[in-house]
Amino acid sequence: MDSEKEKGLKTGTTTIGLVCKDGIVMASDRRATMGYFIASKDIDKIYPVSDNIAMTIAGSVGDAQTLIRWMAAEIRLYELKHEKPITVEAAATLLANILTQYKFYPFFVQLLLGGVDEKPRLFSIDMLGGITEEKMTSTGSGSPIAFGVLEEMFREEKDVETNMVIAAKAVSAAMKRDAGSGENIDIVSVTKSSGFKRLQRDDVKKLIAS
């Protein structure tokens, strides 16, 4: 995929972030669009940027993937310099600062960044560098539908395993009504004990059916 085509791809998308008692859950669909054309049916929208931090992407695929690479490099440099892991809040602030610097020529993205340090934390960052801490949130064109499921079912005191089911059901509901969301569902957990872990597709199907 060349850079011009990547710029044209939009994730359309539904992405979800949930804070749980023992970690975070992130979920997304896997469809990328160019206008009304489905350009890809199998694109990653959740990425690790360190052992304990993950990001979701919505918006321009090329812009988002550039930021993923940038963040992974900056976090690695930080950890080498300070000889300790970066905190989730510091990583979110770093990402917000990068976006703020480019607000006159912005990256067309809406991002979620979450992970675990002393406790699970989740941040939403917009294209101009605005940052908010969340317990439960969704981005992308399918987010209004996903929020309907999350508002009813999500509970912060539940564990990662339980909230994975809720995230899967929320993305599944969005895929049924939002043209920009579709194909398969991707689910990731980040915990202190296991770090970044992506579920296999067969396990995701079992969650949806449960």
Q: What does the pLDDT look like over 128-177, one tens digit per residue?
A: 999 999 999 999 888 999 999 999 999 999 999 999 999 999 999 998 88
> What is d(CA 182, CA 20) in angstroms, rounded to the nearest whole number?
26
Domain total for the chain? 1
> Quick one: pLDDT band at residue 207, thresholds 50, 70, 90?
confident
Q: How many CA atoms lie within 13 A of 78 on its CB side?
A: 16
pTM to 2 decimals?
0.90
> What is d(CA 201, CA 186) in angstroms, rounded to the nearest whole number?
8
In a domain, 130, yes or no: yes
pLDDT-wise least confident of 84-98, 112-126, 154-168, 173-187:
173-187
Exposed, middle or buried: residue 55 (CB in 10 Å: 0-12, 13-18, 19+)?
Answer: buried
The question of whether 87 is a catalytic residue gets the answer no
CATH of the domain at 97: 3.60.20.10
In a domain, 122, yes or no: yes
Strand partners, 46: 56
> What is d(CA 145, CA 37) in angstroms, rounded to the nearest whole number?
22
In a domain, 128, yes or no: yes
Q: Domain range for residue 155?
A: 3-205
The total number of residues shown for the chain amounts to 210
| Residue 10 DSSP label | B
> Quick one: pLDDT band at residue 181, thresholds 50, 70, 90?
confident
Q: What are phi and psi of 88, to 5 degrees?
A: -65, -45
Sheet holding 195-198, edge to edge: 136-139, 15-19, 23-29, 185-191, 195-198
pLDDT greater than 80 at residue 44:
yes
pLDDT greater than 60 at residue 4:
no
> Quick one: pLDDT band at residue 209, thresholds 50, 70, 90?
confident
Confidence (pLDDT) at 36: 67
In a domain, 201, yes or no: yes
- Phi-psi category of residue 62: left, alpha or beta, with phi > 0 → left and psi -120 to 50 → alpha: alpha
In a domain, 210, yes or no: no
User: Looking at residues 2-9, what average pLDDT do you find?
Assistant: 49
In a domain, 108, yes or no: yes
> What is d(CA 184, CA 200) in angstroms, rounded to the nearest whole number?
11
> What is d(CA 177, CA 142) in angstroms, rounded to the nearest whole number?
8
Name the catalytic one among 13, 15, 33, 139: 13
Confidence (pLDDT) at 37: 74
The mean predicted confidence, pLDDT, of the chain is 89
Percent of the chain at pLDDT above 90?
68
Confidence (pLDDT) at 205: 79
In a domain, 62, yes or no: yes
